[in-house]
A and B are shown apart, each in its own frame.
Chain A
Amino acid sequence: MDRFSQLEFDEKSPERKRSQGEPIRDADYFHKRALKYWLAGDFELALRNYSRALEQNNTLFEAWVGQVLMLIELGEYKEALVWADKALELFPEHPELLAVKAVACCRDAKLEKAIAYSDNSISKDNITPRVWLARAEVMLGRKSPVADNCVSKAISIAGNMAPVIKLEAARLLRRKGSYSTAIGHLNDVVKVFPKSALAWCELGCCQAKLGFPQAKATLEQSLKLRPGWREAETALARCRGRGFFGRLFGR
């Protein structure tokens, strides 16, 4: 114990450190945690946290959309569509839910349906950035040059959500091979979310594709933030020039 800690002065008494205590586990808490896990690239845990957020408050729209998005990330497109339909019962004709349905259809190689959902979503009022991102994805599926404009539009109306939307846009652009544009967005994202393993991993992958020497360090940073992440490890191994057989035999 400090010798002088109990001394009294004329001025204010020294403030004691307050114990922070347990955080209130309300819907917002789980929603933030879900976002945190998404930024870490752990879609399974993010999905669980979205579900827990909805257990607390089933009118939390972001959590419904988040659940559908996580199902899409996990490759469960049919389930994502079922769940989007369920969310649409609570939020009828919501453009964002229609947009995520378009994304699910697009990734499930049902382009006609995806276009229909995207057309429907974009015709509504209160269009969110994700609607434009979905539009961009559908347009990229059709190999339309309009896709880039849709991405720009999504980012321009994102407001506070800009880093998140930029990350999503960058992931979309990477999937479609526009690595240099994706790097531009990801550089902004990692400044805002320096602890996002997902953002670092995406950045590293893009850099590796373009042959940038810093790709290795970027991917290592991603692994440092989320040790043992398979996707980052695979990307790093590929970056180090280890082919399939090299990884198979541990050479």
Chain B
Amino acid sequence: MRCQRCKFENIPGQKTCIKCGSALEVTSTAINVHPPRMPRWKKPFRDVLRSMRKGKAIPQIDAKSHLTPRVKEFFNDSFLGLFLSIIPGLAHWTQNRFKEIRWYFLAWLILLLSGVFLYGSAAGYVCLGLAIGVHAAIALQYGILKNLTNMSEKIVTIILVLIGLTFLYRFIPRIPPLNFDGGYSSLTIPYYNVEAGDYLLTRGGLDENDLLQRGSLVLIHPATFRSTGRRDVPSGNDTVIGEVVGLPGERLQIVNEVFIVDGQLLDVEKYPVPQWLRRIPFSATIPDDSYFVSSRYNVSAHGVRLSASHIEQVCMVKTTDIEAKAFMRWWPLLRRGFLR
């Protein structure tokens, strides 16, 4: 009996090779000779996992091998790594270390996408917050924490990185040409299927030459009505969504809870008069560089006695103070869609 592995000539009748232990003859006990098979549905999952293991979500280039030692040292610098980590994983990728943070990267991507999808809701903010946290973890994992020995320095660094990334996430969507922003509607406008509290997505980049139409929903900054000189009038909101009711040069009146523009009654469904504007009789001509923007402004919350001049100061918004124009209902999800 010759062993198939080591070619050792064994004694006849031997079941396993004396030298190496390999099986020599057909065993009496039944051995399953049919291999296990992979169910088809597993294939795509395994493929994805494999490609992640390979780290080829971003193609690997051996950047290090072509660099001089000095440049290598520069690239190894943890501060540069921190800077490159503005794009999560970029610093690791340049050093062929992407594999270390591949799961973090995936978690960041999922959280970011979920956060953007649910933006305007509490869950969306939580997801974005977590995405910022994971992003910070990726940036810090690169090496900056290893270089710091003092615990207080580490804590300060972590806080600074978190603050920096929060600003980054806040302002990146506003960078042209995206210019995305948003705000909560304070009005219920049945015509646009908008209710108070809905989050509307806006797009900025309006200049003085852009003419707004009556009924446009716009994002205005509180600076607009701080100029009234009465600090107790506006609410503490950063930005407010309002509806353009009066165009430059038009004469606007509020009579019997209805807007009247140049003697014509406006549709109440399309141009509802906010509660606080209903109490005061108002009539004015809109200046050429301004629009009349109707919004809630939370003026009544302070119990201030308002006059027509206050309304004029608050609602006449200059073209330059209009930041963006709303184009989409982003939240709630069920009513997500473009505005008419």
A in complex with B: yes
B23 contacts A59, C-beta separation under 8 Å: yes
CB-CB contacts below 8 Å: B34-70 with A: 34-38, 43, 46, 50-51, 53-54, 62
Chain A 34-68 interface mask (CB, 8 Å, partner B; 1/0):
00000000000001000100110111010000011
B5 contacts A91, C-beta separation under 8 Å: yes
Interface size on A, residues (CB 8 A): 31
B35 contacts A51, C-beta separation under 8 Å: yes
**Which of A59, A68, A83 is the one whose CB lies under 8 Å from B24?**
A59
Chain A 91-129 interface mask (CB, 8 Å, partner B; 1/0):
111100000000000001110000000000000011000
Residues on the B chain within 8 Å of A90, using CB: 22-23, 31
Complex: how many Å from CA A196 to CA B25? Answer: 33
Residues on the B chain within 8 Å of A57, using CB: 26
A92 contacts B21, C-beta separation under 8 Å: yes
Complex: how many Å from CA A117 to CA B74? Answer: 37
Does chain A have a CB within 8 A of B27? yes
Does chain A have a CB within 8 A of B278? no
Does chain A have a CB within 8 A of B122? no
**Which of B6, B35, B54 is the one whose CB lies under 8 Å from A83?**
B35
Interface size on B, residues (CB 8 A): 26
Query: In the assembled complex, how far is the CB of residue B8 from the closest CB belonging to chain A, in whole angstroms?
Result: 10
**Which of A55, A61, A125 is the one whose CB lies under 8 Å from B4?**
A61
Query: In the assembled complex, how far is the CB of residue A127 from the closest CB belonging to chain B, in whole angstroms?
Result: 12
B22 contacts A94, C-beta separation under 8 Å: yes
Does chain B have a CB within 8 A of A75? yes
Does chain A have a CB within 8 A of B20? yes
Does chain B have a CB within 8 A of A76? yes
- Closest A residue to B55 by beta carbon equals A109
Does chain B have a CB within 8 A of A78? yes
Complex: how many Å from CA A80 to CA B35? Answer: 8
- Closest B residue to A59 by beta carbon equals B23
B53 contacts A59, C-beta separation under 8 Å: no
Query: In the assembled complex, how far is the CB of residue A74 from the closest CB belonging to chain B, in whole angstroms?
Result: 8
Given contacts A51-B33, A55-B33, A61-B5, A93 and B23 within 8 Å (CB-CB): no
Given contacts A92-B21, A109-B53, A58 and B38 within 8 Å (CB-CB): no
- Closest B residue to A57 by beta carbon equals B26
Does chain A have a CB within 8 A of B279? no
A79 contacts B36, C-beta separation under 8 Å: yes
Query: In the assembled complex, how far is the CB of residue A137 from the closest CB belonging to chain B, in whole angstroms?
Result: 15
Query: In the assembled complex, how far is the CB of residue B256 from the closest CB belonging to chain A, in whole angstroms?
Result: 63
Residues on the B chain within 8 Å of A47, using CB: 35
Does chain B have a CB within 8 A of A210? no
A58 contacts B26, C-beta separation under 8 Å: yes
Complex: how many Å from CA A67 to CA B31? Answer: 15
B37 contacts A92, C-beta separation under 8 Å: no
Complex: how many Å from CA A82 to CA B5? Answer: 20
Chain A 207-247 interface mask (CB, 8 Å, partner B; 1/0):
00000000000000000000000000000000000000000
Residues on the B chain within 8 Å of A93, using CB: 20
Complex: how many Å from CA A35 to CA B282? Answer: 95
- Closest A residue to B7 by beta carbon equals A126
Query: In the assembled complex, how far is the CB of residue A174 from the closest CB belonging to chain B, in whole angstroms?
Result: 19
Complex: how many Å from CA A92 to CA B23? Answer: 9
Complex: how many Å from CA A110 to CA B46? Answer: 13
Does chain B have a CB within 8 A of A71? yes
Most chain A beta carbons < 10 A, residue from B20, B21, B33, B37: B33
Residues on the B chain within 8 Å of A61, using CB: 4-5, 22
Residues on the A chain within 8 Å of B38, using CB: 74-76, 78-79
Given contacts A75-B43, A109-B54, A126-B7, A91 and B33 within 8 Å (CB-CB): no
Chosen A-B contacts, 16 in total, with CB atoms closer than 8 Å, are A51-B35, A55-B33, A59-B4, A59-B24, A61-B4, A61-B5, A67-B35, A74-B38, A75-B38, A77-B46, A78-B46, A79-B35, A94-B5, A109-B50, A109-B53, A125-B6
13 additional A-B residue pairs with CB within 8 Å, beyond A59-B26, A71-B35, A92-B22: A54-B33, A58-B26, A59-B23, A75-B38, A78-B46, A79-B35, A80-B35, A90-B22, A90-B31, A92-B21, A94-B5, A110-B53, A126-B6
